[in-house]
């Protein structure tokens, strides 16, 4: 089902985002605890990379959420149409709804 696949992808992307946010927090904590040296430049580059990943994942999450919302809206419209059709049919045969 397309909706379930999108939900799974949403969870996967959220996990990537959370993992990278955790990496950023850990690296920032490391920088606070260490003296300024050459290793810090490496850590700053890694923070920048992880930050870019987080931003990209946030964008992807918005896109996936929009797709999920669209599918749910389409399903709601179809259910409304089905209900209206059923009510019309019952009315046409004299049934009470």
User: 1-15, pLDDT tens digit by residue?
Assistant: 588 999 999 999 999
Structure pTM?
0.73
| Number of Cβ within a 10 Å radius of residue 47 | 19
Angstrom distance (rounded) from CA 97 to CA 90 = 7
pLDDT at res. 37: 66
User: 49-87, pLDDT tens digit by residue?
Assistant: 999 999 999 999 999 999 999 999 999 999 999 988 888
pLDDT at res. 36: 66
pLDDT at res. 95: 59
pLDDT at res. 31: 85
8-state DSSP, 94: T
Which of 20, 14, 11 is CA-nearest to residue 53?
Answer: 20
Q: What is the pLDDT averaged over residues 34-38?
A: 69
The tokens of 2 are what? 């397309």
pLDDT at res. 91: 83
């Amino acid at each position: 089902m397309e909706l379930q696949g999108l939900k799974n992808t949403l969870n996967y992307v959220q996990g990537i985002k959370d993992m990278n946010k955790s990496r950023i927090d850990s690296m920032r904590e490391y920088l606070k605890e260490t003296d300024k040296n050459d290793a810090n430049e490496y850590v700053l580059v890694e923070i920048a990379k992880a930050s870019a990943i987080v931003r990209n994942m946030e964008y992807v999450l918005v896109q996936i959420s929009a797709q999920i919302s669209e599918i749910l809206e389409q399903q709601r419209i179809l259910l409304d149409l089905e209900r209206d059709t059923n009510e019309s049919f019952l009315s046409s045969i004299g049934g009470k709804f």
